[in-house]
């Protein structure tokens, strides 16, 4: 496999294999940034991987009050699922249990220009037990639901798109500390410089990268990616752990479109390569078994450099 170098770090010229998902974007606003963030964190919980989680979800970014419909601090979140009906169920559950219940919040469509919409206001509105009101506010069709604190406002429809999940970066380091620092720098760069993407795993980082299926347990949809486990490299004849690498971490990226994922992947690679002790950066693919999107590392880096002006 050919490779190129960034700041002296080898970057394998390969691709991340991503797959289509139905995705939506919700803008949560609240009286303070802290309450908006609290609702966002709870609403995106237990949503790291569709392998076992009921959805994939994450926080995109903070939105300044002068850029939200109601002039309050906002947080954009994404939720993903295999199909629109499955996505809608998760949106209703997370809106009803995690956002409606959080003090001072409101929920708006984060994809207002998208033509395909999920009708969710009517279903959530039934919590009002007949006292709910549909009205136009902020030039949007909103459902006003009475709650003990006052009113909860939710937009009647939410946009949905054919999104992309599974973009990834593999950071390989000489030890646990340098590898974690490299992965954290990549996550920080993606969060601050990329748009329309989320990293659904804890802190944006995966310590337990997986492969499709199992060599020993045929009923399992995924198992540990043994090729990238340094602790067993001496037991794996075709191990992909290079000499001198003793720790590996993965960053998984979901986005509203393939271009957004590609740019984020490149931003992450550039950031991780600057950390001392990072030996190699690559990406995981499964020969087409997982999905149709091939996000090439070299293309991602070039796309990121254009965005960053480098």
Residue ranges with strand state E in 64-149:
74-81, 106-109, 117-119, 133-137, 140-147
Same domain, 151 and 55: yes
Distances in whole angstroms, Cα of residue 290 to Cα of each of 164, 204, 213, 227, 238: 12, 21, 10, 17, 21
Does residue 132 come out as left (phi exceeding 0), alpha (psi in the -120 to 50 range) or beta? Answer: beta
If we measure between CA atoms, which residue out of 194, 191, 155 comes closest to residue 69? 155
Do residues 263 and 175 share a domain? yes
In angstroms, the CA 241 to CA 226 distance is 10
Tokens for 116, please give them. Answer: 């395909």
Indicate whether 261 and 204 sit together in one domain: yes
pTM, to two decimals: 0.96
> How far apart are the C-alpha atoms of 135 and 128, rounded to whole Å?
14
Residues 170 and 303 in one domain: yes
Number of domains comprising the chain: 2
Say if residue 188 is in the same domain as residue 147: no
Q: Note whether 9 and 63 are same-domain residues.
A: no
* CATH code, 114: 3.30.70.520
56 and 79 share a domain?
Answer: yes
Residues 65 and 27 in one domain: yes
Q: Say whether both 179 and 64 belong to one domain.
A: no
pLDDT tens digits for 148-186? 999 999 999 999 999 999 999 999 999 999 999 999 999
Which of 114, 145, 161 is where one domain is finished?
A: 161
- What is the full DSSP assignment across 152-164? EEEESEEEEEEEE
Q: Which tokens in the block code for residue 265?
A: 């992947």
pLDDT score of 40 more than 90: yes
Q: Look at residues 237, 173, 233, 234 and name the one whose alpha carbon lies nearest to residue 207.
A: 173
Provide the pLDDT for residue 121. 96
pLDDT value at position 95? 98
230 and 266 in one domain? Answer: yes
Domain containing 247 equals 3-18+163-308
Tell me: do 169 and 106 sit in the same domain: no
Last residue of a domain, one of 161, 195, 212: 161
101 and 190 both lie in a single domain: no
Q: Are 145 and 86 in contact (CB under 8 A)?
A: no
pLDDT in tens, 206-259: 999 999 899 999 999 999 999 999 999 999 999 999 999 999 999 999 999 999
- Per-residue model confidence (pLDDT) at position 86: 98
Domain end, chosen from 99, 130, 161, is at 161
Show the 3-state SS of 107-119: EEECCCCCCCEEE
């Amino acid at each position: 496999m050919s490779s190129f170098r960034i700041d002296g770090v080898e970057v394998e010229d390969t691709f991340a294999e991503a797959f289509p998902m139905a995705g939506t974007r919700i803008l949560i606003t609240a009286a303070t940034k802290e309450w908006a963030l609290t609702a966002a964190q709870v609403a995106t919980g237990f949503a790291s991987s569709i392998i076992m989680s009921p959805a994939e979800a994450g926080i995109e970014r903070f939105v300044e009050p002068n850029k939200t419909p109601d002039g309050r601090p906002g947080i954009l979140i994404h939720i993903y699922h295999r199909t629109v009906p499955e996505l809608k169920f998760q949106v209703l559950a997370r809106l009803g249990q995690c956002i409606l219940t959080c003090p001072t919040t409101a929920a708006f469509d984060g994809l207002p220009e998208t033509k395909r919409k999920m009708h969710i206001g009517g279903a959530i509105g039934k919590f009002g037990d007949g006292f709910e009101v549909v009205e136009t506010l902020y030039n949007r069709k909103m459902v006003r639901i009475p709650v003990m604190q006052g009113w909860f406002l939710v937009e009647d429809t939410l946009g949905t798109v054919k999104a992309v999940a599974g973009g990834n970066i593999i950071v390989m380091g000489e030890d646990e500390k340098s590898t974690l620092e490299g992965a954290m720098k990549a996550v920080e760069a993606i969060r601050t410089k990329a748009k329309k993407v989320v990293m659904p795993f804890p802190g944006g980082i995966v310590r337990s990268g997986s492969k499709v299926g199992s060599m020993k347990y045929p009923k399992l949809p995924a198992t540990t990616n043994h090729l990238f486990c340094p602790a067993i490299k001496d037991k794996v004849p075709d191990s992909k752990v290079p000499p001198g690498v003793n720790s590996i971490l993965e960053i998984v990226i979901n986005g509203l479109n393939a271009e957004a994922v590609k740019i984020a992947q490149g931003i992450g690679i550039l950031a991780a390569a600057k950390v001392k002790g990072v030996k190699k950066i690559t990406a995981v693919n499964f020969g087409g078994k997982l999905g149709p999107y091939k996000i090439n590392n070299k293309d991602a880096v070039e796309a990121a450099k254009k965005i960053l002006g480098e």
